[in-house]
């Protein structure tokens, strides 16, 4: 049996066994956006890591060193946001080709620092090694969240409303403009590429929303909305009804979908890498959450569905019909 057969998620299940040998401080190990440890002064410690490999997660043909650096930090900050937390410290490992110019690394670090500064994340350490065949960047991030405020994927309950921040599909549209450039309105291309290269992890949004109360679960959308809906539903033991017509898609994303002859909903549901937050919220608190976020920033928060009992399954309403939601999204090794 090889990794292609078992897939990323099958592998993760195997890796959990026996991983915790001293459980005292561990509240959550493998299995959410970040690990959760007992912390200090009323806070829990959050820890997460992400590895980006050349020509799998980025390519030098389309991304600058600065963009790669920025996105690496953003992806990790997003994991902390998905727990309701404040990102704080990062460790950066770089595997670089010996012949890479120093300028390249300076720019990569400038991108890491730019995003780090924006979200208050220090780079406190790292490792720098030779990797002749493919560049690799690994970031490990630490953060904190108030005890009792930590958001897990497993907290959704039937009756909750499904919310999403921002809009979806922009990153996937941006990737299309990079991989096969076609004549397109420059503003639409710029919008989508910004979404692709410089996603905004939703720290401000979730931190503003928490005091309103009522948020029961959170996950960040890295592998696509549908993949994260499945992840959240399975972790919570619930079903989901997704309203296709409610999924927020930016006009620029729709424009590009038309040019690339794709369904904009495909971008939004299966594209991935939007790094928006998927939230579940008690129905009586939705308005308060939306208002709290609106007071803090411009990011919209849109109800896109409902949490239902697990027996109802995971479905989508399109054109008034309720259909099984086709799973999908990006699965490493497949």
Site for its own copies in 36-55 (CB under 8 A): 37, 39-41, 47-53, 55
Q: At what angle do helices 251-259 and 186-197 cross, to 10 degrees?
A: 110
Provide, rounded to whole angstroms, the least separation between the CB of residue 50 and its own copies. Answer: 5
The answer to whether the Cα torsion of 315, 280, 203, 27 is positive or negative is: negative
For residue 131, with 0-12 CB atoms within 10 Å meaning exposed, 13-18 middle and 19 or more buried, which class applies? middle
Provide, rounded to whole angstroms, the least separation between the CB of residue 150 and its own copies. Answer: 14
Structure-token match 């959170």, residue found: 218
Provide, rounded to whole angstroms, the least separation between the CB of residue 74 and its own copies. Answer: 15
13 near its own copies (CB under 8 A): no
Provide, rounded to whole angstroms, the least separation between the CB of residue 291 and its own copies. Answer: 29
The region of 133-141, 191-199, 242-250, 307-315 touching its own copies under the rule CB under 8 A is 133-141
Nearer to its own copies, 23 or 320 (CB): 23
The response to whether 270 counts as a known ligand-binding position is: no
The response to whether 78 counts as a known ligand-binding position is: no
89 near its own copies (CB under 8 A): yes
Provide, rounded to whole angstroms, the least separation between the CB of residue 45 and its own copies. Answer: 8
For residue 199, with 0-12 CB atoms within 10 Å meaning exposed, 13-18 middle and 19 or more buried, which class applies? buried
Nearer to its own copies, 90 or 249 (CB): 90
Nearer to its own copies, 41 or 324 (CB): 41
The response to whether 315 counts as a known ligand-binding position is: no
Provide, rounded to whole angstroms, the least separation between the CB of residue 160 and its own copies. Answer: 26
DSSP string, 210-261: GGG--EEEEEE-SS-HHHHHHHHHHHHTEEEEEEGGGS---HHHHHHHHHTT
Nearer to its own copies, 133 or 321 (CB): 133
The region of 28-36, 245-253, 273-281, 304-312 touching its own copies under the rule CB under 8 A is 28-36
DSSP 33: S
What count of residues does the chain have?
334
Site for its own copies in 102-131 (CB under 8 A): 102-103, 105-106, 109, 113, 116-117, 120-131
93 near its own copies (CB under 8 A): yes
Binder among 81, 142, 232, 256 for its own copies (CB under 8 A): 142
> Cβ neighbours of residue 137 under 8 Å, at least 6 residues apart?
51, 52, 68, 69, 72, 92, 93, 94, 95, 108
First CA to last CA across the chain, in angstroms?
Answer: 13
138 near its own copies (CB under 8 A): yes
Nearer to its own copies, 128 or 326 (CB): 128
The response to whether 330 counts as a known ligand-binding position is: yes
Distance, in Å, from the CA atom of 240 to the CA atom of 56, rounded to the nearest integer, reads 31
Q: How many residues bind its own copies (CB under 8 A)?
A: 80
241 phi/psi in degrees, rounded to 5? -110, 120
Distance, in Å, from the CA atom of 303 to the CA atom of 301, rounded to the nearest integer, reads 7
The response to whether 274 counts as a known ligand-binding position is: no
Provide, rounded to whole angstroms, the least separation between the CB of residue 89 and its own copies. Answer: 7
> Cβ neighbours of residue 320 under 8 Å, at least 6 residues apart?
none
Residues marked as binding?
Answer: 33, 48-50, 57, 79, 109, 126-127, 153, 220, 222-223, 273, 330
Binding residues for Mg(2+), as ranges, are 33, 48-50, 79, 127, 220, 223
């Amino acid at each position: 049996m090889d990794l292609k057969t078992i897939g990323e998620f099958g592998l993760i299940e195997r890796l959990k066994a026996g991983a915790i040998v001293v459980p005292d401080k561990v509240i959550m190990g493998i299995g959410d956006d970040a690990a959760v440890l007992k912390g200090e002064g009323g806070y829990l410690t959050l820890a997460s890591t992400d590895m980006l490999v050349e020509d799998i997660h980025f390519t030098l043909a389309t991304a600058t060193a600065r963009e790669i650096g920025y996105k690496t930090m953003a992806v990790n900050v997003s994991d902390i946001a998905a727990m309701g937390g404040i990102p704080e410290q990062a460790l950066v490992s770089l595997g670089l080709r010996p012949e890479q110019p120093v300028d390249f690394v300076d720019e990569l670090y400038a991108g890491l620092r730019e995003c780090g500064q924006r979200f208050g994340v220090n780079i406190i350490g790292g490792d720098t090694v030779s990797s002749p065949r493919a560049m690799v960047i690994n970031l490990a991030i630490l953060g904190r969240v108030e005890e009792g405020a930590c958001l897990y994927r497993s907290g959704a309950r039937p009756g909750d409303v499904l919310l999403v921040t921002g809009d979806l599909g922009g990153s996937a549209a941006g990737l299309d403009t990079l991989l096969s450039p076609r004549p397109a309105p420059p503003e639409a291309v710029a919008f989508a590429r910004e979404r692709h290269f410089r996603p905004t992890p939703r720290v401000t949004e979730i931190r503003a929303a928490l005091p309103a109360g009522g948020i029961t679960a959170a996950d960040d959308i890295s592998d696509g909305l549908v993949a994260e809906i499945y992840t959240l539903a399975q972790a919570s033991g619930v079903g989901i009804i997704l309203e296709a017509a409610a999924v927020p898609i930016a006009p620029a994303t729709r424009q590009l979908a038309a040019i690339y002859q794709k369904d904009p909903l495909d971008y939004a549901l299966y594209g991935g890498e939007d790094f928006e937050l998927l939230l579940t919220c008690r129905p009586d608190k939705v308005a308060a959450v939306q208002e709290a976020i609106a007071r803090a920033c411009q990011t919209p928060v849109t109800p896109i569905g409902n949490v239902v009992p697990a027996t109802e399954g995971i479905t989508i309403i399109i054109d008034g019909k309720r259909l099984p939601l086709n799973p999908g999204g990006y699965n490493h090794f497949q």
